[in-house]
Amino acid sequence: MAIAPVVNAIRVLERMVPPGQLLFDHHAHDLRGTRTGTGSLTVHSLGVRVEDFITWANQEATAHGLEVIPPDPHGRIGTERFRRSLAWHIARRPGGLVALAIQYGHLRTSVAAGYAARSRDGIHDLLDVETARATIDTVADLNAALENGLGISGPAARRAIKAAATAPQYTGTVITARQARQILANPQLAVYENPHTLLMCVYKRAKALCCHRGPKDTPSLDQCVPGCANIARTDQHAVGLRHYATALDQQAGRVPGPLGERLHDNATRLRDLADAHDRTRTTLRDGIA
């Protein structure tokens, strides 16, 4: 399972190479054809391609009056740093840790083992570090927002506040791979933002309704079940719910019949959730912690 840009990139590569060949087969990609034998592009060639891509992207950006990729003060990007960027995006792409439920699990099992076996700082460690940093950022952002008067509701609100309170001890520190593993194993820090369902999952295995096939270490965010005791919602989620409800109503206005009615019903359900948040929300000033 992969996200759409990855699938699209693979489909493009499949059209560039003859059937049955490697996606980065050097015969198909090395147009000078100076190398003999089989195999994929070398690490050096891939590093050059990354630089070529930046040059091309900047030419296009300049032609269209867009922002260019600035010169890198640390020199060429190369495959090492490209991997680090990859890990950063996996941990933080829109949906944040939602992506991890899909892609990270896949990468860890399919790719990471191979990389990790070959180098001490394999992608396995990079993913752990970036995931831990994303987790700390999530709880640190929540902590700052709560201190600024953000309201929170839901059965897991108290646990979310407790997790947020631990943030200051981690912020600003450099996280090593070992510390990252400790952070990821800390059940108190299991806070996942789920923008698709406009809620925050404060994961506790015993309470999770999404784990039909036995307890797991991470929630199935793509199969979130309304009414789960791990749900918390903030004022920001309530705003998001109302925005989404308005968009559904607008869509419903253009769709006649049962489909339009269903869209209206969904909009009403989302507004009800936002209203329930407003009625039950609490803040740090209410002394919940």
Positions touching ligand SF4 (CB under 6 A) are 201, 203, 208-210, 219-221, 224-225, 228, 230-231
Secondary structure class of 8 (helix, strand, coil): helix
* Helix pair angle (123-147, 177-185), 10° resolution: 60
Which uninterrupted H or E stretch holds 199? strand 199-202
Query: Closest distance between ligand SF4 and the C-beta of residue 203, in Å?
Result: 5
Query: Closest distance between ligand SF4 and the C-beta of residue 225, in Å?
Result: 4
Query: Closest distance between ligand SF4 and the C-beta of residue 185, in Å?
Result: 17
**H helices present in 32-122, as ranges:** 43-63, 78-92, 98-99, 105-107, 113-118
Q: Hey, what are 287's tokens?
A: 């002394």
Residues 6 or more apart whose CB falls under 8 angstroms from that of 240 comprise 195, 198
Query: Closest distance between ligand SF4 and the C-beta of residue 210, in Å?
Result: 3
Query: Closest distance between ligand SF4 and the C-beta of residue 222, in Å?
Result: 8
Cα separation, 58 vs 18, in Å, equals 30
Looking at the Cβ atoms of 97 and 183, the one nearer to ligand SF4 is 97
Looking at the Cβ atoms of 122 and 154, the one nearer to ligand SF4 is 154
Looking at the Cβ atoms of 211 and 284, the one nearer to ligand SF4 is 211
CA-to-CA separations, 2 to 87, 100, 102, 122, 132, in angstroms, rounded: 14, 11, 7, 21, 21
CB of 67 within 8 A of CB of 54? no
Residues 6 or more apart whose CB falls under 8 angstroms from that of 140 comprise 164, 167, 168, 170, 171
Looking at the Cβ atoms of 231 and 284, the one nearer to ligand SF4 is 231
Cα separation, 37 vs 237, in Å, equals 56
CB of 169 within 8 A of CB of 186? no
Query: Closest distance between ligand SF4 and the C-beta of residue 191, in Å?
Result: 10
Query: Closest distance between ligand SF4 and the C-beta of residue 228, in Å?
Result: 3
Give the residue among 141, 140, 149, 158 at the shortest CA–CA distance from 202.
158
Looking at the Cβ atoms of 95 and 219, the one nearer to ligand SF4 is 219
Looking at the Cβ atoms of 124 and 135, the one nearer to ligand SF4 is 135
Looking at the Cβ atoms of 70 and 227, the one nearer to ligand SF4 is 227
